[in-house]
Amino acid sequence: MTAPPPRKPAEHVERALCVLAHPDDVDFGSAGTVATWTAAGTQVTYCIVTDGDAGGFDETPRERMGPLRREEQRAAAAAVGVTDVRFLGHPDGRLELTLDLRRDISRVIRQVRPQRVLTSSPERWYERIGASHPDHMTVGESTLRAVYPDARNPFAFPELLADEGLDAWTVGEVWLGASPRADHAVDVTDVVELKFAALKSHVTQVSHVDDLEEFVTGWMAQTARRFGLPEGHLAEAFHVVHTA
């Protein structure tokens, strides 16, 4: 018996929520995909779990880094058509898989009521160790736990309903970025300039990187080849998990 072909993601969704650990995570791996969604009329919300206050490369005072990175993420979001950016303010570099984090993500899922959630893979990718930052894996696992079962179960975190009036919500699909088992590629060739604009908004992170466009283009070209797109095309890839 052969395995059934993978189920395709929905053609179009009304609302999508991207949950990532640090400012800039969504832009390196997924800003092109987000640009295609907003262009098609999908309302996209970003939920960034930390302020990225352990990042940077220069003498910027540490207490300035968090506010700066929030501003950079808002600008990067605007470059790809996203105006709703929410920050959870958890500590950068020290994320743990806790019930508090699951509740905080469940709250945003119930507020936004997205049909689609994008997050990072909870699974370590041994061939690309830099993609598997512990905070990324923690956010991926916490988000999947929030999608199933917390956000859909009215008896999970009952205070969300009792105190905040947030009804249970079932997310239809979760897109995992930087996954060793990616099974779906998005052609981002036509929106690549928007992705570069988003990336360059993260001044504290990338202003010292001269070949940013070259190396990000290199990844996307390699991904496009792996998924059999025509030569010269660029792609971002995801493992799509059906969660309804």
Minimum CB separation of residue 133 from Zn ion in Å reads: 5
Helices (H), the chain: 25-39, 62-79, 99-112, 134-147, 158-162, 192-200, 203-206, 212-226
By beta-carbon proximity to Zn ion, the closer residue of 22 and 116 is 22
Instruction: Give contact residues for Zn ion (rule: CB under 5 A).
Output: 22, 25
Minimum CB separation of residue 11 from Zn ion in Å reads: 30
By beta-carbon proximity to Zn ion, the closer residue of 137 and 151 is 137
Minimum CB separation of residue 198 from Zn ion in Å reads: 15
109 closest CA partner among 16, 244, 24: 16
- Other beta carbons within 10 Å of 135: 23
240 closest CA partner among 153, 145, 144: 144
| Residue 103 in tokens | 């509740």
By beta-carbon proximity to Zn ion, the closer residue of 145 and 202 is 202
Which residue type sits at 156?
A: A
By beta-carbon proximity to Zn ion, the closer residue of 132 and 223 is 132
Minimum CB separation of residue 109 from Zn ion in Å reads: 21
